[in-house]
Amino acid sequence: MMKQVKREIEIHLERIELLESGLKLDKHTTHQIDASLIWPRTGIAKKTGSQLVDLDYAAADLSGVQWGKKILLRESTEGRFALGVTVSEALDYEKLEKFLRECFRIGIKAGGSLAASYSGGLSKFVTAPFEATAKLVGTYPGPQTLAEGMTELHSEELPQPGCERLLTVQLFSTQSLIRTSRRKVKGVTKTTRKILMREGDPNGIVTLRIVTLES
Q: Looking at the chain, how many residues does it have?
A: 215
- Pick 6-91+143-212's CATH classification: 2.60.40.150, 3.90.1200.10, 1.10.10.10, 3.65.10.10: 2.60.40.150
Angle at 147 between CA 141 and CA 153, to 5 degrees: 115
pLDDT at 108: 47
Q: What is the pLDDT of residue 27?
A: 84
Question: With contact defined as beta carbons under 8 Å apart, do 79 and 155 qualify?
Answer: yes
> Rounded distance, CA 83 to CA 19, Å?
21
Q: What is the pLDDT along the chain (215 residues), one digit of tens a residue?
A: 557 789 999 999 999 999 988 767 678 889 999 999 999 999 999 999 999 999 999 999 999 999 999 999 999 999 999 999 999 998 876 666 666 665 555 554 444 444 444 444 444 444 444 444 544 444 455 678 999 999 999 999 999 999 999 999 999 999 988 887 777 777 777 778 888 899 999 999 999 999 999 87
In DSSP notation, 4-63 reads PPEEEEEEEEEEEE-S---SS--SEEEEEEEEEEEEEETTEEEEEEEEEEEEETTEEE-T
